[in-house]
Amino acid sequence: MNSTDTLGGMLDAWSALAGAATGGAPAPLTNLLMQAHLASSSALMRAGQRGSDSWMDYLKSTGADATLEQRVDAARAHLRRLAEISADESRQVQQALLALDEQVRALVPPVPQPDGTDPVRYARAKP
């Protein structure tokens, strides 16, 4: 498989996730990871469909008798729609993955501190 074979890559990832479900990783963790993969794959598929719809709109608006100016305006509108689609799908999948991240984090109960306070972190973040 080459790096441009998107569908093949998705199928390989699904196969690996299915293999993890049958052994090794705990079932709740594997299920959450499968949901994450499905959310990201679905976003790609939706973006592709929406992009195709935009392309069809572009083709409809630029008939054989369209001037160069009309074609350029239609092309720019198509490019804006593609950018909007990309940003919209990205936001949606980000929200879904952040929710799944919280669920994954909840799989491990927090370690209680002896005095009930939060742990002290001695490392400082880089400026």
Kindly give the confidence (pLDDT) of every residue in the chain, 127 residues in length, as a single tens digit, with 9 standing for 90 and above.
455 666 677 667 666 766 665 566 678 888 899 999 999 999 999 999 999 999 999 999 998 899 999 999 999 999 999 999 999 999 999 999 999 999 999 999 887 767 767 767 777 777 6
Q: What is the rounded CA–CA span in Å between residue 119 and residue 108?
A: 17
In Å, how far from its chain's centre is CA 124? 31
DSSP single-letter state for residue 118: P
Residue 16, SS3 per DSSP: helix
Question: Can you give the pLDDT at residue 111?
Answer: 76
pTM, two decimals, is: 0.68
